[in-house]
Amino acid sequence: MFTYVLPCCLALLLAGTAQAQNTQQIAQGQRIWQKRCTECHALDTDETGPHHRGVFGRRSGSVKGYDYSRALRKADLVWDETSLDRWLTDPEKFLPGQNMDFRVRSKQERAALIAYLKSLSPAAAQN
């Protein structure tokens, strides 16, 4: 009995720790987003840049009515962890001809920002 209980308890403990770390990362990402992204973006309305709620999992250049660069309109990608990380690292290198002149140099800050954007996706709302 003990051989089954101990592994289960450890698994629950680790799952709780991972969830707490994810919650902290999302909160950090929200702070970064509010400090560094709101000059051009809002969550629910298009500004200088398109709205960010639901960007995770969205096809690039797909917000109706927003005037994207030709590069983003022609790109065939879906925003996920990998594409957002590459985009935030160096948008022009990732997608030449785009219009965003902003980088997040810190890998930790990019991960937090992506976690926050992912938390705003429709899939996250269903969980």
Which residue range is the domain that position 94 belongs to?
A: 2-126
Cα–Cα distance list, 123 to 16, 74, 103, 117, 119 (Å): 21, 25, 26, 11, 8
Whole-angstrom Cα distance, residue 42 to residue 48? Answer: 9
In terms of pTM, does the model score above 0.75? yes
pLDDT at 109: 98
3-state secondary structure at position 96: coil
Instruction: Assign residue 90 the CATH number of its domain.
Output: 1.10.760.10
Whole-angstrom Cα distance, residue 117 to residue 29? Answer: 8
Whole-angstrom Cα distance, residue 4 to residue 53? Answer: 43
Q: Count of domains in the chain?
A: 1
pLDDT at 2: 52
pLDDT in tens, the chain (127 residues): 555 555 544 444 334 444 555 999 999 999 999 999 999 999 999 999 999 999 999 999 999 999 999 999 999 999 999 999 999 999 999 999 999 999 999 999 999 999 999 999 987 655 4
3-state secondary structure at position 24: helix
